[in-house]
Amino acid sequence: MNIIIERHICLSFDNQAEIVHYYRQMGVEYPKFFKMDCLSKMAFVASEMLLADMPDRFELREDVAVIFFNSSSSLAVDTDYQATIRNNDDYFPSPALFVYTLPNICAGEVAIRNKFCGETSFYVIDKFDIHRIFDITRNTFENNQVTFALIGWIENYEDVFEVKMAKVCIKQ
């Protein structure tokens, strides 16, 4: 089995405001975007760029997998959420933040937007490791009815705002 990269993109942002600026320049109308955390916003922007010319894009697809990776999980938003519950005298837990304390929400947002019903996964690994990412992607193709996958490294923690994403398929 040969896994072929059809398209890929690498984006780096200085901050969340720059991600929003990128989104607005794309002219996409998706109100849920503004409720997303940075991790999901970056994945959304990159997937919009990669999939924009896909002819059957918004038709239900069970043969498409979304497989994302990073090393910090959702630690950036977890830290923000912790700040809302730290002090008993100033206790203001935010359900909006809590929703995004799971990294798989990021992959789920992309799958929902594009009606991808295949495997949707988010793996937290020590560091960007192309061999490990390839092995997990290959296993997804071997163990499922997947014909193509959207794979990505989406990292957001402290001053890091980066996404590397690719649309891959198999050639037999």
CA distances from 103 to 6, 50, 99, 110 (A): 25, 21, 10, 12
Tens digit of each residue's pLDDT (9 = 90 or more) over 26-58: 999 999 999 888 899 999 999 999 999 998 899
Per-residue model confidence as pLDDT tens digits over 60-109: 999 999 999 998 877 666 666 676 777 677 666 766 656 666 788 899 99
User: Which DSSP category does 40 fall into?
Assistant: H
Predicted confidence band of residue 169 (pLDDT cuts 50, 70, 90): very high
Interval 103-142: pLDDT, tens: 888 999 999 999 999 999 999 999 999 999 999 999 999 9
Distance separating alpha carbons of residues 170 and 70, to the nearest angstrom: 23
Report the pLDDT averaged over residues 146-159: 93
From the list 17, 108, 6, the residue with the least C-alpha distance to 67 is 108
- Average pLDDT of 143-168? 93
Q: How far is CA 108 from CA 24, 39, 145, in A?
A: 22, 12, 19
